[in-house]
Amino acid sequence: MGSIKIPFNRPYLTGKETYYIEQAVKSGKISGNGMFTQKCQKYFEEKYGFKKTLLTTSCTDALEMAAILGNIQTGDEVIVPSYTFVSSALAFVRQGAKIIFADSRQDHPGIDEDKIEKLITPKTKAIVVVHYAGVACDMDKVMFLANKYNFLVVEDAAQSIDSFYNGKPLGSIGHLAAFSFHETKNINSGEGGLLAVNDARFIKRAEIIWEKGTNRAEFFRGEVNKYGWEDIGSSFLPSEIIAAYLWAQLENLDKIQQRRIEIWHQYFRGLNEWAIKNEVNLPAIPDYATNNGHMFYMVCKSTDQRDQIIRHLEENGVYAVSHYLSLHKSNFYRSRYIGDDLMRADKYTECLLRLPFFYELKHEEIELIINTIKEVKQILGGNA
């Protein structure tokens, strides 16, 4: 095996992160909800039109806040795609919910919107839609069902910053949304997240839950003369150090997005012909969705094909990876799952491959990756 020369991910530093962190430290206010927290939250509210945003220590925390705000309780059912990260379901399991897993689309790992309605019962309290790879679900279909059956829509927009559905920013359509700033995301703060509140009835309570169940945020704004314990909650807000790091990233969002989309298109152009010849599916972007350059993936025709590509890349110093294990087949949930086979989710589990993707990935490195993949045709018996 060759040593890894091209990693799967490398967090991008704009150059201002440590400068803003130093400013935060010197301000004497580093515990959270200070100047940089408020600057980041204002940025999202003004740029994307979210009614209220709250920085969190992770996307998982933002989802947990959504589950609390939705009053999810034991016996409630929450529809979640099986092909997603564990947090999409875990946040609601912690509140006692029964997860009703949904299958993926044939053309995309996101939830199959046409199969949602048959999963709805009188116990359905919410649905979590995951915009996989930053590509939108069909939100008109989802919101129609939510209005028809009166349940909460939570957008898991972990991968979806600066991506749109029919001109609407992802995260602005459902009642609530959660974003991630993990080091693998377009914009990162190492760890970090954001809760976006689009339904005004949740705004006041969201702030209380965010501040350990107290009305402390109102106190610091001078709206009350003391604060106390009002509700359940936790310490969901991050320190100013994380917010300062994030602000440096947000200042460079447009530049970062432009480069990532260039990388995505270079992969697509370079692999499209090879993929067709070798029965590999490249990402599909529906007409209603935009591409935010979050990741580049391929869906191989078999697990063997995927594993051969991964091995050949690794032998040439390139680290490529698979992605999620279908949650309905996880060790934790397998014994609890009662439902149909989710064959498309399992297909993505077995066959999806992600290629290295980060801002500083060079043109010639991408060409090397593309050409190395094309060599695999000899192993697969594919056409030249």
Provide the residue type at 101 as one letter: F
Q: Residue 189: its pLDDT value, please? A: 98
Tell me which DSSP letter residue 179 carries: E
Domain 253-380 is classified in which CATH homologous superfamily?
Aspartate Aminotransferase, domain 1 (3.90.1150.10)
What is the maximum span of the chain, computed from C-alpha positions, in angstroms? 74
Across 155-193, b (16+ Cβ under 10 Å) vs e yields bbbbbbbbbbbeeebbbbbbbbbbbbbbebbbbbbebbb
Average pLDDT of span 67-87: 97
The pLDDT confidence band at residue 6, using thresholds 50, 70 and 90, is very high
Average pLDDT of span 362-373: 98
Provide the residue type at 358 as one letter: F
The pLDDT confidence band at residue 19, using thresholds 50, 70 and 90, is very high
Tell me which DSSP letter residue 185 carries: S
Q: Residue 166 pairs with which residues in a beta bridge?
A: none
277, burial (CB in 10 Å: exposed 0-12, middle 13-18, buried 19+) = middle
Task: Give the contacts of 29 (CB within 8 A, at least 6 positions apart).
Answer: 35, 240
Distance between CA 170 and CA 136 in Å, rounded?
A: 7
The pLDDT confidence band at residue 383, using thresholds 50, 70 and 90, is very low
This model's pTM is above 0.85: yes
Beta-carbon count within 10 A of 254 CB: 9
- Number of Cα atoms under 13 Å in the Cβ half of residue 65: 38
Contact 334, 107 (CB under 8 A): no
Of 11, 97, 2, 87, the C-alpha closest to 357 is 11
Among the ranges given (21-25, 159-163, 222-226, 378-382), the one the predictor scored with the smallest mean pLDDT? 378-382
Tell me which DSSP letter residue 358 carries: -
Provide the residue type at 316 as one letter: N
17-250 has which CATH code? Answer: 3.40.640.10
Asked if the model's pLDDT at residue 384 lies above 50, the reply is: no
pLDDT, tens only, 233-292? 999 999 999 999 999 999 999 999 999 999 999 999 999 999 999 999 999 999 999 999
Distance between CA 72 and CA 139 in Å, rounded?
A: 22
Q: Are the folds of 17-250 and 253-380 the same? A: no
Task: Enumerate the domain spans of the chain.
Answer: 17-250, 253-380
